[in-house]
Amino acid sequence: MKSELKVKAIEKGTVIDHIKAENLYKILSIIGIENLDTQIFIGNNLDSQKFGKKAIIKIADKFPSMDDVNKIALIDPNAVINIIRDYQVVEKTKVELPETINTFVKCINPKCITNHEKVETKFNVQVKDGKVNLKCYYCEKITGQNNIEVIR
Amino acid sequence: MKNKSLVSINDYTKEEYFKILDLAEEFQKNPNHKLLENHVIASLFFEPSTRTRLSFETAIQRLGGKVIGFSEAANTSVAKGESLKDTILTVSKYADLIVMRHPIEGSARYASTVSDKPIINAGDGSNQHPTQCLLDLYSIRKTQGTLENINLFLVGDLKHGRTVHSLLQAMSEFNPVFNFVSPPLLRMPQEYKDFLDEKGIKYYEHDELNESIKHADIIYVTRVQRERFSDPMEYEKVKNAYVLKNKMLEGTKDNLRILHPLPRVNEIDTDVDPNPKAYYFEQAENGVYARMALMCHILGIR
Ligand SMILES: [Zn+2]
């Protein structure tokens, strides 16, 4: 059986596929899964032809915003987002890192103005050795991929 | 006007810096003008820095401008809890240009997005201090006749020193050779060495000041601060290894000049002061001309 089918099909909504298994929980957290009230199906440690084990998330009746896509790209740039209508994939997007990330990531520098005054964060996205680095527009310090903390 | 703010050394092009350095040279020949006669400049020092503030205020006075502001945040609206945004919005209604120093990093960049008048960053925490870099460039060009192909020794705390980091970035445009002299704990951070590798610029690292300074065109000395060491023994061991003494300058190049951003503690022995190669007090004086030129450039006066 195809691995996508091991997780229940949805009539309409969003399927986030080709997530590296190790990234599943970070993605669930960054998209704020606990705040969603529609049906959600999650598969993990499924066999992947591209890499060892993959995860898949199916969210019924919800469609991702640009912010959601950016958040997923930050954690797993290889993920694929499928939009489903009538049980069919009508749109397939490979997530892509944007040039800038605004508002939802916290700057790691405790002395940064964004952590002292009501200032929306803003970062330039840089990729170095396969890792995402976020350079703060204000304090110019780097927040590394492993230190990304989402502002709720 | 807004985009003229100088917050970070990367905000201006090489051509703009040359234009400012040329203007600074003019001001050095003839320092008193009335170019800012009809201007009010705000000097907002949210943390004290006597040297930088006096340099800016001298520059404003020499140009005939008027200064408003404060030298520390105590007894101001800031102490009453006013936000930086409100302070900047208010002052930008009074003054034509705002010079600010603030302990919070990114504060000057934020101010430049809030204010409709230009901002000069006079230091934001450990982040940027671009006018120091400007006067360093001026001092190097003035003493060497060029910024190209300089052999530059950076000595002291190369890990935390924002001054040496900015200077490294700025001088990298001009095909330099760098020599880094520091205790192992306070070495130049890897990201700056990567930056030099990418640009194909040569650098050498040394644990102590030795005869290699015979090749130097510029020796730029910074303070090794006791509080950077968690182990006081470690500080005691290294503190004397980085003190420049006059007899070490025997056999060095004639064009060599010694620079220091000041204040100095003991890292340059006072016996160096009478040596014609000592240039740190002239360097401080140059800061006034560089800041005069920068303000005229930003206000579009010259
Ligand atoms: Zn920041």
Per-residue b or e along B253-270, where b marks 16 or more CB atoms closer than 10 Å to that residue's CB: eeebbbbbbeebeebbee
* pLDDT, mean of residues A95-109: 91
* pLDDT, mean of residues B102-116: 97
Range in A24-33, A132-141, B10-19, B25-34 the model is least confident about: A24-33
From-to residues of CATH 3.30.70.140 in chain A: 13-94
For the cut 90, the answer to whether the pLDDT of residue A77 exceeds it is: no
Distance CA B143, CA B98 (A): 31
Whether residues A140 and B105 touch (CB distance < 8 A) is answered with yes
Q: How many CA atoms lie within 13 A of A46 on its CB side?
A: 22
Whether residues B107 and A109 touch (CB distance < 8 A) is answered with no
Whether residues A113 and B103 touch (CB distance < 8 A) is answered with no
Q: B-chain residues within 8 Å CB-CB of A141?
A: 105, 127
For the cut 80, the answer to whether the pLDDT of residue A114 exceeds it is: yes
Q: Does A110 touch chain B (CB under 8 A)?
A: no
Task: Tell me if A105 sits within 8 A of A148, measured CB to CB.
Answer: yes
Distance CA A24, CA A56 (A): 8
| Closest Cβ–Cβ partner in B83, B85, B105 for A139 | B105
Higher pLDDT, A49 or B165: B165
pLDDT tens digits along A33-76:
898 999 999 999 998 887 789 999 999 999 998 888 888 998 88
Higher pLDDT, B227 or A75: A75
| A145 C-alpha to ligand 1 centroid (Å) | 15
Ion ligand 1 neighbours, Cβ < 5 Å: A 107, 109, 112, 136, 138-139
For the cut 50, the answer to whether the pLDDT of residue B2 exceeds it is: no
Interaxial angle between packed helices B162-171 and B190-199, expressed in degrees from 0 to 180 and rounded to the nearest 10: 10
pLDDT tens digits along B196-213:
999 999 999 999 898 999
In A, minimum Cα distance to B81 occurs at A117
Per-residue pLDDT at A2: 59
| B248 C-alpha to ligand 1 centroid (Å) | 42
Task: Tell me if B20 sits within 8 A of B134, measured CB to CB.
Answer: yes
Task: Out of 3.90.650.10, 2.40.400.10, 3.40.140.10, 3.40.50.1370, select the CATH number for domain B131-284.
Answer: 3.40.50.1370
Q: A-chain residues within 8 Å CB-CB of B109?
A: 113, 137-139
Distance CA B241, CA B231 (A): 17
The verdict on domain A13-94 having CATH code 2.60.40.1120 is no
For the cut 50, the answer to whether the pLDDT of residue B1 exceeds it is: no
pLDDT tens digits along B40-51:
999 999 999 999
Torsion of CA B84, B86, B90, B91, to 10 degrees: 0
Whether residues A138 and B85 touch (CB distance < 8 A) is answered with no
Per-residue pLDDT at A152: 67
Query: For chain B, which residues make up each domain, given as ranges?
Result: 32-128, 131-284
Q: Which phi and psi (to 5°) does residue B154 adopt? A: -110, 125
* pLDDT, mean of residues B145-163: 94
What is the ipTM metric for this complex?
A: 0.89
| Closest Cβ–Cβ partner in A111, A136, A140 for B104 | A111
For the cut 80, the answer to whether the pLDDT of residue A97 exceeds it is: yes
Q: A-chain residues within 8 Å CB-CB of B83?
A: 117-118
The verdict on domain A100-150 having CATH code 3.40.50.620 is no
Across chain A, what does the average pLDDT equal? 89
Task: Report which of B285, B289, B283, B239 is spatially closest to residue B261, judged by C-alpha positions.
Answer: B283
Across chain B, what does the average pLDDT equal? 94
Per-residue pLDDT at A71: 87
Fold identical between B32-128 and B131-284?
yes
Per-residue pLDDT at A128: 81
Confidence class of residue B29 from pLDDT cuts 50, 70 and 90? very high
Distance CA B153, CA B267 (A): 14
Joined together, the tokens standing for residue A4 give 């996508």
* pLDDT, mean of residues A96-101: 90
Q: Does A138 touch chain B (CB under 8 A)?
A: yes
- In residues, how long is chain B? 302
Per-residue pLDDT at B226: 81
Q: Does B189 touch chain A (CB under 8 A)?
A: no
In A, minimum Cα distance to B125 occurs at A111
Range in A142-151, B110-119, B253-262, B287-296 the model is least confident about: A142-151
Secondary-structure class of domain B32-128 per CATH: alpha beta
| Closest Cβ–Cβ partner in A113, A136, A141 for B107 | A113
Confidence class of residue B3 from pLDDT cuts 50, 70 and 90? low
| A141 C-alpha to ligand 1 centroid (Å) | 6
Per-residue pLDDT at A5: 62
Q: Does B160 touch chain A (CB under 8 A)?
A: no
* pLDDT, mean of residues B24-38: 95
- Cis omega before residue B189 (within 30°)? no
* pLDDT, mean of residues B22-46: 96
Per-residue pLDDT at B265: 87
Per-residue pLDDT at A6: 66
Task: Report which of B42, B43, B40, B45 is spatially closest to residue B63, judged by C-alpha positions.
Answer: B40
Q: Say which residues have a Cβ less than 8 Å from residue B72's Cβ, sequence separation at least 6.
A: B45, B46, B47, B48
Q: Where are the alpha helices (DSSP H) in B30-177?
A: 50-62, 84-94, 107-114, 130-144, 162-171
For the cut 60, the answer to whether the pLDDT of residue A4 exceeds it is: no
C-alpha A51: how far from chain center: 18
From-to residues of CATH 2.30.30.20 in chain A: 100-150
DSSP label at B105?
Answer: B
Distance CA B104, CA B111 (A): 12
